[in-house]
Chain A
Amino acid sequence: MSGLITSSYREFLLFAFGPVDPIRLKAFRRWISVSLLFYITDRSLTPYQWLTEKGFHLSVHAQTWHTPYPAPLLPEWLVPIFLLTFIGCIIALIIGWEVRSMTWVVWLQLLYISFADFESSFTINKLYLVSFLVLALSSPIVSVITNKKCIKEFQSVWPIRVLQATILIQFGTAGWCKLFHGDWNLFPDTLWTHVQGLYCTDIAAWMLRTFPEWTWIPFMYMALGFEIFGPIILLCRKIRWVGIIWGLCFLFIIALTMYKLFFFSFQLACFFLLFMDEKSLYRLYSSKFS
């Protein structure tokens, strides 16, 4: 029995910390940076509203008790420098130049904008903060020469596990909140009421006009179903592809029907790369990452 437990413990350590090919984390880094580039470019269209006193920012005295302590705003002359640095570092991450230091700079800038402008920071900021901190602290890549004189790269798997846990908790607790802190199980038209509001895109408006109200019910239960069962499906290797396709459809519909939630959907879609197997990723990206 104790032998079994000891070997299970080794299995657990291998699962949580063992060596893996770094392709998954590299793919994730590249695509999460692409999604961040889209997001920051959108924010940069109104930079002075966002980062300077030209936009309204609540002082620490007037902020609600649960909001973070506000960081000081930038002087106007510093805004272009801040944004150029931000976008430049993100592009460096996409092309894979000075990855570690660029990740730290991007993370620090993300930290600043999340504290300086609470009014326009949302869940998307929090997920970027944790993702880039994990990437910044991830273990270094080690090259090993195999007995066939090939070089193979390895990295500890813990950053992938932390990010996987983050997204599974994100989806799982989103479903939980809708059921036990919300009312998705009491009304069949909750989603229909959401798409009518200030997130309504032209496509959502066309769908509202064209289709009867009940057509939103399958969409609603498919979304809820993914949030509840998606985390379990993604944990099972053999049916993981079902979870990935289901999840991508779910995020695609959100991006189409809810204005500016494209950024959030894109960000969440990047996390699915962490559940793909290494062979498929090599096939997708061939030698670009090696």
Chain B
Amino acid sequence: MRISKSEFSVPSIEQKITSDFNFFLPLFLIYFAVLLWYLSELLLICFNDKNRGIQDFIASTIVIVNNSNYSKIDLPIGRIVKPRDYIIAWFFLAIWILPVLFQGLTKQSLYFATANRLEYFYYVACLFTKRVGAWSNFYVQVLPIGSNQWVTLEDKDYSPMKPFGHRARIDRILVLWSNPNFPDKEKQVKEMSLWLKKRYAELNPDSSGLEAIRYIRIAYPVGGYIAKPSGHWRKEKLETIPENKRYIFASYDFNDNLERK
């Protein structure tokens, strides 16, 4: 029943990449040279002992011309800007702007964020970065005790929420398991399987329980059928998909509490 992954793997992107010259690099070098120039200007200002800092600024006055009624205001800056503003702004620079910039540019996590499991909050930009070879739909099937017929679970009963895109909420976890190198797969398969078993018992009180559960992926290579869709992305009934197109990427046996090989 289990289909080897190679049958479904689409041509890898890396196979197509040649050593093309990255023509955007010079543009970005110019871009960052300008930014660095600005930064160096700022550093010069900061290390210049002639300026007397924020206190002088707060104590000074600014003339504001109000064009709408032709009036002028001699505004003491200290009425508007307090030392509190100065501190909070630098706080945002340190805990938000610089980490987000660093992680966005390097795609590497900062130690202080990793140590607190917070680096997730700093990844805001690396979205849709790579060409996709194939898109997938995920299905969950259960084997009730005393039956030899696998039953497909309906999304509307187990995970009706669609946070983003036409995919169920739990699909976000299932897509991680499709990666053979995903480290926490075993623990996550166990947790989700036990949760689905409990939910199945709630929805089917007459059932005697479940023997096993399996997770199936159907891959759709881009450029094929999905390149000319008749409507928005849909999840077909699993029964309409030939068995040789189903890839079982995880399973769990409730009897021996071991992942089914």
Contact = CB atoms under 8 A, between A and B. Distances in A.
B132 A194 contact: yes
A11 to B, nearest CB: 9
A159 to B, nearest CB: 8
A84 interface: no
B191 A169 contact: no
Interface stretch (B73-81, B205-213, B239-247): B73-81
A184 B129 contact: yes
Interface string A44-57: 00100110000110
A14 B61 CA distance: 11
Nearest to B64: A19
Given A67-B117, A202-B231, A158 B69 contact: no
A166 interface: yes
Given A68-B118, A186-B20, A166 B100 contact: yes
Interface of B: 13, 16-17, 20, 22-24, 27-28, 31, 41-42, 44-45, 48, 50-51, 54, 57, 60, 62, 64, 66, 69-73, 75, 77, 79-82, 84-86, 88-89, 92-93, 96-97, 100-101, 104-105, 107, 109, 114, 117-133, 135, 137, 158-167, 169-170, 172-173, 176, 183-184, 187-188, 190-192, 195-196, 222-223, 226-233
Given A158-B89, A166-B96, A139 B81 contact: yes
A176 interface: yes
Nearest to A163: B92
A253 interface: no
A68 B82 CA distance: 34
A239 interface: no
Given A9-B45, A198-B137, A205-B232, 19 more contacts: A2-B50, A3-B50, A6-B51, A13-B54, A14-B57, A16-B89, A58-B191, A59-B191, A62-B191, A68-B120, A144-B73, A162-B93, A186-B17, A186-B131, A197-B165, A198-B233, A204-B232, A205-B231, A261-B164
Contacts of A50: 161, 169
Nearest to A158: B89
Interface of A: 2-3, 5-6, 8-10, 12-14, 16-19, 43, 46, 49-50, 55-56, 58-59, 61-69, 114, 118-120, 122-123, 126-127, 129-130, 134, 137, 139, 142, 144, 146-148, 150, 152, 154-156, 158, 161-162, 165-166, 169-170, 172-174, 176-187, 189-190, 192-194, 196-202, 204-205, 208-209, 213, 228, 232, 258-261
